Structure 1
Amino acid sequence: MRYGVLGPLAVWDAEGRPVRVPEAKVRALLANLLVHGGGPVPADRLIEDLWADNPPGGSANTLQTKVSQLRRVLGRDQVVREPAGYRLLLADDVLDALTFQELADRARAHREPAVKADLFADALALWRGPAYADVAEALFARGEITRLEELRLDVVEDHAEVRLTLGEHTALAAELGTLVARHPLRERLRMAHMRALYRAGRQGDALQSFQELRRELAEELGVSPGPEVSALHEAILRQEPRLATPAVGSLSCRTNLPAPLTPLIGRREAAEQVLARLDPGANTRLVTLTGLGGVGKTRLAIAAARDVAGQFTDGVWLVELAGLGAASAPDDIAERVITTLGLCDTAATEPDLDDLVGWLCRAVADKQLLILLDNCEHLIEPVAVLANAVLSAVPAAHLLLTSQEALDIPGEVVHPVPPLALPKDTDPQTVARSSAVELFVERAAAAAPGFVLDAENAAAVSAVCRRLDGIPLALELVASRLRTLSPHELAARLDDRFARPDARVRGLPDRQRTLRGMLDWSWQLLSEDERTVLRRLVVHADGWVMPSAQAVCADDGLPAGRVPDLLSRLVDRSLVVREGNRFRLLESVAAHGAERLAEAGEESAVRERFVRHCTELAEREDELLRGPDQRRSLERLNAETVNLRRALDLAVTHGAAEYAVRLVNALAWYWFLRGRLTEARRSLRAALAAGEGAAPDARLTARTWLAGIELRTSQTGAVPGPADKDLGAGVGDPVLRARLRWFVGTGLTGSGRHREGRRLVEASLTGARAAGDRWGEAAALVELASHTPARDGSAELGAALFREVGDRWGLLRATRALALAAEGEGDRVRTERLHREGLLMAEELGLWTEAVETLTRLGETALADGRTERATELYERALSVSAERAYTRGEIRAEIGLGHAARLRGDRDAATHHLNRALAKSHASGHGAHADAASAELNLVPRP
């Protein structure tokens, strides 16, 4: 069960369906238990809270009755009786108030303003109304309500300040006005509003806001405004430059580089060399860091990339390739880059997108960016093809690679990454200056608090580092042993270990033999169950969360309940890395574990559990994508994307056609929402080609999804089978059948086949209503409304249904239809309001092409009202987002809008500049209609 208290009390089951809690006292009982956060509440306290001064006769029995009623709703094991009282069992992620606080903490810890803003927005989106609205008058809830409301306002203020750094002052000036009126004494909120007003050109309103604050404080508290808000008032009076909107160049670089978990040790000189080669002014544009596994190539690359991030205006991006199979093509790597850069939504607007390498090169042709391709050794040929294409077509692009071998292509600079420097003798001062010793001591102190290098242990530490050849991974693995061994004991055991003949593997270079020997020794020190978990975890391509580890590792001999403790021990031994709630294996450990998995003869069983788990995960998330958990479900699927691809590859390669088809059917809607239509098309085709093992109904479902995808990715609007064939008619599930008809119908309509498309959408509406599918009914109504000139209430009803089921994407589509209808009726106020609502939803879901289209429509509305300055600001935002996301059509429309606004302002030069840019981009990209529009607008610009 999941619980919602940020609004009226709500309960949802594991599938996201609302669960009704009958009777006010039972709801109050649940609220009371939730207020205590899973802690025990004495029975007499519950009786007093529920019935105040008027408890019923036999109150203990009455309370027990209410508890029994609650257990019937939630499950008997969810409400437990302990000596200290009744307690509600709560996991970490089942209460929206805790999720809210977690998102806020994550936002505050993040460095990137855009990410901080998204996380704060996610946190605030959880609020459905006043906290604990059902029991707002109850004494037991008041303290928690006050606490949560204070936390919410703190987040609102944090969010506002981040959005100010992102230049969203105009929107904030309007949005914060209502909040300031509701909380007139909050100085921090008032300051954010004053800054927003000032940057929006409303200096008078900003000064008036300060005077209102001064009056409120004097009347309510008898005090004056604080020093910070007073200083802001003075700065506004002086119009100080620091109050201006931050320039784009002053914002943090767009990047997905992870924050370092530990400092980079012993690589200062190497980092400086890499930095010099990565400088945009240098002639080098391709740097490959080479070295054996475990030597620290990735850590060095990330550190160097982070240090030069400010020099690349279009971002620094880490693209992890370890999860791609060795048979991957250049287009597969390009697709990974497109997704990482956030261009998949844009790419989905392009028909016949079969050459992904070419499209990527065109999309970033004028960008200055650094792409870090990590773990390329198993993909040398396709990475070389991609690198050649990017470097040839994108003059300001730089590539940084990590690999165990070089690409060996023109222009590549190879930078070998050696092990860390070893101590030259046993003198403590000399030993301490060795980078290998520095790393070992730092990791040892983390594993065994209090450990320090001194005269007594310097010789032993030196011996350990020399024995391990200064290989960082080997040093980190062995450092954890100091919890139970002294440095002298550790050195002796390593000497004994590496003196044995079986410690060396013939045919390997010395340092690779050292690392292999260290991994073998670490393996032998594990218990049998720890070995079992470690080798089974290697099936994951891109890390995992705890439920996945349990699903993959547990079997008849190893209960799932033991996996968390065993995994924790592996983390303690540095064999597993923990990052937040996810875990991962270093490449060398994973490679070693894969060998052990094969030796144990478990590859097939573990593979089958992994594929089954990924399939069931995707199926659970699929329906959540159409409800209030939509955003979080998208995030969970984003995090598991590489694992899901691995699962599909395994299912296809090993003949598990049933799981392959189930998996692609479950992921089809996710791919659509994320704009990954090329991946969807390729994956659906692969699953259907895997064999006949899947059920006929599932195969028919996959073929229908594929038809809808191909309609959206083909200029000809081609669809398998006869053009008028209803592909989804044979699907057994009536809800799914109606949804598939809608999906294919909207694809037909989008490709210009309106009659066929409308027929399928109408059939979808009939089927959805018959099946009681509110989501399907809403989708069909909104689609029909968007193609019907007359208002018949379909869009309003569709919006209400989408709001009822909590689908933000659907509400965005409905809002767009309502805005277009309002625009047709000449209601500009309602049109603008609806478009603004749609813009917020598009940005929340990361649907950037939708955001751009909405911004340009808002610009058109502003121009129609004669507000050229407001229109200019909107078109500039549209141009910025379009350029960032390589959305050429959006750039052209924004340039035309800016030219139109400049012409109306009488700025002939600016108008000519923007319209000529629009013409050039239109001709270069083949958008003839936009070229005509730009030419027509240019003809209206007065000649000098």
Structure 2
Amino acid sequence: MTFRVLGPLALTRGDDSIVLQPSKVSCMLATLLVHPNEVVDTGHLQNAIWGDDQPLAAKAALQTCAMRLRKLFGRHGLGTSSIETVPGGYRFVASGETLDLVRFRELAAAADAEPRPDRRLELLDGALQLWSGPLLANVPSEWLHRDVAPRLDEERLTVLRRLCELKIDQGMAAATVVQLWDATRRRPGDESLAELHIEALYRAGRQSDALAEFHRIKSFLADELGLDPGSRLKKIELSILKGEPRPEVRQETAAAAVPKVRPVITFIGRDSVAAEIAGRLSRDTGPVVLTGMSGIGKTALARHIATTFREHFPGGQKTLGMRAADGSARVFGEIVGELASWRTWTDSRRGLLILDDVVGVQQAIAVVSAAAARRDAVLVTSQHGLSGVMARFGGRIVRVSGLARDESVRLLAILLGPDRVDADPAAADELADVCGDLPLALRIAAARIQTRDTGLAEFVAWLRENPTSRLSLPGDPDMTLTARFERVVSRLSPVLADAARRLAGAEADIDGQAAVGLLRSVPESAEHLLDQLADASLVEEFGGRYRVPRLIRSYLRSMHDERQSTPQVGVVLSTPGMETP
């Protein structure tokens, strides 16, 4: 379990995160976390929790907060030994593995000691990636936001300056422009940030934008502070106006700091498949398509391949999301623009391009064709089989299935803690079965168990009554099975959606003749519908027989029942996925 303070206060395990609700307990925890391994005296804690509105028995109230904090730890399977009661106050014992702030400082310190520029870039960039949104936004402490948050933000800006200075020095000025634009708008009077922004724009060949940025900071200093720009800013302006040559790009170092895909923290199994796919991609045998039902782990497998076999792709790795925010296909011109920036970033060495969540064959063909010019390896994830891609470019289609049962149990042990799984292995095995060995379902189930005081066996019994509806995290559609499946079915034609609901009525695997009866169709039409549903990963085909995956079958049946009981088409009677044990 990792505590996060470089953003909203949260507890995380792997890819799962629990954002704590605003409370006096969260104020106490945040205060201890932002002073890791230090004694925080009771006066500071009381100021952080109550501010000027101190209770009459402040010491007793603080002890009550500490007791509730330890209970919170217990509910999430954490030991209470990390919180120490010491003379005069409390101390939180933390390491880089348990607290993001400690890890941030470790990476920044390691960058100071690292002689290689490319490695320094990785360390500094890794430190900044730990920050995620407004600092302690869910902690209602005026004292923390006034006296502590600005100091932490200054630490972040120091690392940002060092990173941008290094990138500019190594010929990657264009890669710093967006970060520096954001930083200068947050700190409009910061001359050092403005200097870096102007220099980055100038070295990137954007002379007019560099001059415009100089006039912005000049006007701000004059209007708000009554000051003139410093000598360094004036010197940079003069260099731009005189058209002095920009420093040469150090190509060999810029190439070394190639972009990389973020690793998957808790990836389990599929090692042989990953190695085979990486081997194919490195041999340039054409694109590889990972296909399978929603939640099966296609994107995680792609990222695992990119990071585990990074040496096969010395030009770096890039992920292109293929859907817009509303779920529709992204505009091709927008994708090409992002692809163009990837080409200018990387050197001539072969890289890996991941096309994530491709909508259909035509979109895949267009983007793979554009990527083929650079001879980068292409790894595609999609709910659809995309056989047209293989027909045109060669390569291979890999259908991703659920985890093996022992892998599912191992994943639960990582997410819940081995002690909890070892205490009731039969219940853990049964939970994996109810979840259909689907990685997404297992993660959702583990998150629900951690947020509730319930045993494994009790939770499994409750979950089995209505698995698709109860495998949900309220307020998070991406971690809600019904919302995921609903998006999939809503993209089908009405005829296909109706066919899927009819097939879900079968209690066992069916052959082609049984499918004809369920679909009330002729054999040719039934075969066509089955092919389309198999391509959309809603039906599994094996040896001339067909099966609707269990969780999808449960969802489709619930849809059918709801339609049968709904008096008016299009009226939603309830919101699924919001039940609690």
Give the TM-score normalised by structure 2. 0.49
Higher helix share: 1
Higher Rg of the two aligned structures: 1
Give the TM-score normalised by structure 1. 0.32
The higher-RCO structure (CA 8 Å, 6+ apart) is: 2
